[in-house]
């Protein structure tokens, strides 16, 4: 999650909006040898209306509640952020979340995928804006350019349930809202792959105060203004999440070197005590067609079930030499 931008006034001679990374990692495999990451290796659907899930852990300082609307990320008057993180990693995959963003000026709801070497793919919602959501990405915490975000339109994200999807392979990242594609990023378009997120990731869901008094001027400006915590609580709801790991033949992932390239990732299989790595140029993963679907899955809290399809495959992207064998399965989200 990127939580700072410099003020427009400070960047008048450069860019109109600059994002500064503020992420951290317990061990960065680009700098040292780190423990392997436990692989999800399958597809799961978590229904938060049934309560806490063993697939997630709460971040420090986070206390969660659960109800008929699922997981409740409640920011109270103390302004403490609320975040839960998957225990396992995916190495390319598809993640779909049924979510209602928090309202409130300066309140930021987020759905983030992040790796140990600080590759990152984001959805972020501004509580004071009822017409859009922000998409963004970062490669290896690289903030040398600041023109990566987009702001696709979405109707009343604080009051209406929508399904937000990230479909991530070695060839592309596709962001979709209610099965309609709103952005596609190809590997070559991310600084010839240098800024393309491509290492095993966990999923983070959270709600935080971008308009807090102790945030920088730029962060407050980006968040839409100062937050009035006397108006709390501000609550983000997540009803359910489906996570598909496109790599299903391993139990953990480790970095074979310090390049941060997907071709260096080793897939460890404990059952056979053998390691398998993808070859450079191989298309890893299977994602949706770039043709936008005309089917909408948005609903309110009284809606019945709605299906989120997962494609069984797609042809190679330019520059990729091989297709990954047989990955794809259907998953449903229930609203």
pLDDT for the residue 147: 77
Indicate the length of the chain as a whole number.
335
Which residue from 311, 322, 329, 331 is spatially nearest to 170, judged by alpha carbons? 322
- 212, 218 Cβ separation under 8 angstroms: no
Number of other CB atoms surrounding residue 266 within 10 Å:
16
Active site residue 120: yes
Domains in the chain, please, with CATH? 36-333 (2.60.120.200)
| Secondary structure element (H or E) that encloses residue 47, with its range | strand 43-47
- Give buried/exposed letters for 53-69 (b at 16+ CB in 10 A, else e): bebbeeeeebebeeeeb
> Using CA atoms, how far apart are residues 104 and 233, in angstroms rounded to an integer?
9
Instruction: State whether the Cα torsion 46-50-53-56 is positive or negative.
Output: positive
Positions in the chain short of pLDDT 70: 1-23, 144-146, 270-335
Which one-letter DSSP state was computed for residue 219?
Answer: H
Which residue from 114, 113, 93, 43 is spatially nearest to 324, judged by alpha carbons? 93
Residue 268, both tokens: 């460890």
Q: What is the DSSP string of 234-260?
A: EEEEEEEEEEEES--S-SEEEESSSS-
Catalytic residue among 72, 114, 124, 221: 124
Using left for φ > 0, alpha for ψ between -120 and 50, and beta otherwise, residue 26 falls in alpha
pLDDT for the residue 285: 59
| Entry pTM | 0.80
Please give the angle made by the CA atoms of 77, 136 and 292, to the nearest 5 degrees: 115
pLDDT for the residue 142: 82
User: What end-to-end distance do the CA atoms of the chain give, in Å?
Assistant: 26
The owner of tokens 């899930």 is: 53
pLDDT for the residue 143: 72
pLDDT for the residue 155: 97
- 57, 85 Cβ separation under 8 angstroms: yes
Q: Point out which residues pair with 108 in neighbouring strands.
A: 126, 208
> Using CA atoms, how far apart are residues 95 and 245, in angstroms rounded to an integer?
9
Residues near 272 by beta carbon (within 8 Å), at least 6 away in sequence:
none
> Using CA atoms, how far apart are residues 160 and 164, in angstroms rounded to an integer?
12
Residue 222, both tokens: 């980006």
Active site residue 215: no
CB burial of residue 183 (10 Å; 0-12, 13-18, 19+): middle
pLDDT for the residue 2: 52
pLDDT in tens, 198-243: 999 999 999 999 999 999 999 999 999 999 999 999 999 999 999 9
Catalytic residue among 50, 72, 114, 120: 120
pLDDT for the residue 286: 56
């Amino acid at each position: 999650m990127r939580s700072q931008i410099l003020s427009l006034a400070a960047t008048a001679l450069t860019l109109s909006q600059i994002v500064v990374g503020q992420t951290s990692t317990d061990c960065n495999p680009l700098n040292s040898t780190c423990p392997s990451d436990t692989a999800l290796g399958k597809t799961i659907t978590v229904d938060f209306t049934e309560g806490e899930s063993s697939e997630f852990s709460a971040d420090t300082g986070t206390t969660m509640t659960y109800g008929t609307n699922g997981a409740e990320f409640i920011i109270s008057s103390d302004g403490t952020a609320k975040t839960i993180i998957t225990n396992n990693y995916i190495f390319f995959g598809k993640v779909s979340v049924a979510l209602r963003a928090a309202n409130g000026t300066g309140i930021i709801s987020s759905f983030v995928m992040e790796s140990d070497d600080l590759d990152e793919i984001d959805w972020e919602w501004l509580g004071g804006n009822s017409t859009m959501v922000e998409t963004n990405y970062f490669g290896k915490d690289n903030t040398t350019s600041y023109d990566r975000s987009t702001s696709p339109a979405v109707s009343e994200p604080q009051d209406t349930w929508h399904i937000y999807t990230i479909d991530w392979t070695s060839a592309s990242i596709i962001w979709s809202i209610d099965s309609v594609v709103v952005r596609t990023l190809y590997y070559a378009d991310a600084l010839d792959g240098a800024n393309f997120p491509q290492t095993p990731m966990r999923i983070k869901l959270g709600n935080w105060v971008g308009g807090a008094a102790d945030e920088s001027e730029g962060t407050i400006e980006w968040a839409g203004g100062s937050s009035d915590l006397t108006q709390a609580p501000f609550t983000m709801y997540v009803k359910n999440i489906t996570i598909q790991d496109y790599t299903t033949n391993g139990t953990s992932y480790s970095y074979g070197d310090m390049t941060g390239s997907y071709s260096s990732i080793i897939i460890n299989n404990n059952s056979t005590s053998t390691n398998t790595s993808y070859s450079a140029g191989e298309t890893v993963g299977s994602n949706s067609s770039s043709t936008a679907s005309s089917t909408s899955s948005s609903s309110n809290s009284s809606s019945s079930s709605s299906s989120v399809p997962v494609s069984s495959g797609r042809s190679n992207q330019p520059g990729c030499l091989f297709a990954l064998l047989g990955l794809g399965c259907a998953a449903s989200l229930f609203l």
